[in-house]
Structure 1
Amino acid sequence: MSNHRSGKPENPGNKQDEDAVAFLQGLFELARNGGTGPLNVMLDAGVPVDIRTSAGDSLLMLACRNGHKDTAEMLLERGADPNACNHQSETPLMVATIAEHTELVDCLLEAGAEQ
């Protein structure tokens, strides 16, 4: 198959890379938006519970930043690290505290988050 602009063969790896990026973006959006059910299915399919964004945010961090307690609880039950830091040395407890998600703060402390 050739690239219609240059006439050069397409790199099939590019399509795979694009698909992987789209998959990961969707995964991280589920965590940001509280998509507990679909996230659970993806974890059942083998997605690592502590997968991270390019900024180092875990699924748990994204759920905590956006106030999704059910999603955070599910991730913790599945083994998410409550003390995982992103590239800015923030933890899920820090972002939940800053965002004033008190139920999440309590949940994280019960799960062993360090203060």
Structure 2
Amino acid sequence: MSDQHVADQTGPDNGASPPDQAPDESDLSDLAARLFDMARGGQTDQLRAYLEAGVPANLTNGVGDTLLMLAAYHGHAATVQALLDVGAEVDRVNDKNQTPLAGAVFKSHDDVVRALVAAGADPDAGTPPARQAATMFGRDDYRSLWDKPEN
């Protein structure tokens, strides 16, 4: 029986037809680029569909940026929350040792900062840490999000 014939025999009861061939590296590279663009652009619903289909929440580009890092840096709180909901690592650093929280603080994306802190982001992780970035950019209001009053 030929491979094509086997594929013709699969149906709704037998499972989906296998592709004629595995995707090549350029196809995967193109898909990854689209996923990173979705994170940058705040295309939450589209990105969520890929995540639900099995794309890793901590997918990383060539410079170590995760989907979460890109969504946070570009101010997309809903996308950040969707990534956190599927297990994205909140303090994962890129190749420059930067965190999503520090990026959101740098860009003054208040809703993103709150979402990351609520998910347990460490304001002292990375270089520079979010705590230091908040001080450098005069965002003392962020300190109340991570500084606990002493008893």
Would you say same fold, with TM above 0.5? yes
The structural deviation recorded for 1:76 is 0.6
Match of 1:82 among 84, 90, 93: 90
Supply the AA of the counterpart residue of 2:98: E
Equivalent residue pairs, number = 103
In 2: Cα distance, 1:75 partner to 1:81 partner: 9
Deviations, residues 52-86 of structure 1 (Å, cap 9, x unaligned): 01110010000001000000011111111110000
Tell me the distance in 1 between the aligned counterparts of 2:37 and 2:97.
Answer: 21
Corresponding residue of 1:5: none
Percent identity of the aligned residues?
A: 37
**What is the aligned counterpart of 1:112 among 113, 120, 125?**
120
1:94 equivalent in structure 2: 102
Alignment-mate amino acid for residue 61 of structure 1: M
TM-score (norm 2): 0.66
Q: Which runs of 5+ in 1 are unaligned?
A: 1-11
Q: Within 2, Cα distance between the matches of 1:22 and 1:107?
A: 30
CA–CA separation in structure 2 for the residues paired with 1:38 and 1:100: 25
- The one-letter amino acid paired with 2:85 is E
User: Which residue number in structure 2 is paired with residue 8 of structure 1?
Assistant: none
- Please list every run of at least 4 consecutive aligned residues from structure 1 whose deviation after the TM superposition is greater than 4 angstroms: none
Q: 1:42 and 2:42 equivalent?
A: no
CA distance in 2, matches of 1:60, 1:17: 23
Displacement of 1:18: 1.1
Q: Which amino acid aligns with 1:56?
A: G
Q: Root-mean-square deviation (CA), in Å?
A: 1.5
Q: Which has the larger radius of gyration?
A: 2
What is the deviation of 1:41? 0.6
Instruction: Output the amino acid matched with 1:67.
Output: G
